[in-house]
């Protein structure tokens, strides 16, 4: 994966997203489009990012019956996204349908196959949150179990918090793609729970990190992105 940093375009309008992308031009980072912007603007959000020269991680966390997910992945592939994700909780059959659909769609449309990731446990959740929905065992054990099922289904990697990176890397090897959200400075407290710095995540073995508010809410988003890229570069040395 060439892009080590993906900015989360979690904004209300296409105009806001385009303005951010304009300010981030030339930084060499990717763009993540999630439910908020995609609900507001639809495929135009993807088109806008691609026209600006930003590869797109389509973060819609598909979780439905296998046939529906396969159809959604086909259309995401048609749009030319570089990466997409599904919820590992949808099961092996659903994840396998996603992986197979990405491969067949890429061949049909003559496009690169998007990297297909499984979302394990959201970074906003902790042990107490999992208890509330009946998940037993540790967070680490649950994340690893889901990631193993994703690999069995033919996906390329997973989305996991900074806290599980080392465990996943040891268990699943160097070729397993790990993308990590929940990137925060140590002193920042918000709705994220399992967090770390970009340097810590990359140092632990993540392939890429997703950063939202530390870039998008910064007075100078380009400078904020550059600072995080410098952290990543130092962590990889």
**Catalytic residue positions, numbered:** 61
Interatomic CA distance for residues 16 and 11, integer angstroms: 7
SS3 140: helix
The stretches of the chain forming alpha helices (DSSP H) are 14-23, 35-41, 43-51, 66-79, 92-109, 127-132, 139-153, 165-172, 198-204, 213-216, 221-236
CA of residue 50 relative to chain centroid, distance = 17
Interatomic CA distance for residues 76 and 185, integer angstroms: 32
Q: Which burial class, exposed, middle or buried, applies to 173 when counting CB atoms under 10 A from its CB (0-12, 13-18, 19+)? A: exposed
Interatomic CA distance for residues 84 and 57, integer angstroms: 6
């Amino acid at each position: 994966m060439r892009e080590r940093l993906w900015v989360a375009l979690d904004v209300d309008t296409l105009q806001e997203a385009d303005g951010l992308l304009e300010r981030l031009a030339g930084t060499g980072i990717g763009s993540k489009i999630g439910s908020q912007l995609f609900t507001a603007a639809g495929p135009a959000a993807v088109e806008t990012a691609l026209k600006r020269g930003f590869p797109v991680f389509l973060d819609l966390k598909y979780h439905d019956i296998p046939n529906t997910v396969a159809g959604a992945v086909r259309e995401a592939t048609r749009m030319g996204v570089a990466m997409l994700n599904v919820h590992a909780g949808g099961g092996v059959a659903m994840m396998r349908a996603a992986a197979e659909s990405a491969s067949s769609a890429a061949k049909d449309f003559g496009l690169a196959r998007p990297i297909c990731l499984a979302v394990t446990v959201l970074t906003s959740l902790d042990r107490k949150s999992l208890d509330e929905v009946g998940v037993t065992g540790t967070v680490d054990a649950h994340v690893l179990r889901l990631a193993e099922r994703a690999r069995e289904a033919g996906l390329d990697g997973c989305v996991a918090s900074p806290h599980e990176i080392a465990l996943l890397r040891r268990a699943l090897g160097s070729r397993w793609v790990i993308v990590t959200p929940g990137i925060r400075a140590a002193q920042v407290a918000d709705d994220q729970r399992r967090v770390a710095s970009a340097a810590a995540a990359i140092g632990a073995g993540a392939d890429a990190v997703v950063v939202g508010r530390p870039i998008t809410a910064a007075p100078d988003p380009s400078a904020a992105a550059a600072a995080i890229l410098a952290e990543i570069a130092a962590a990889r040395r």
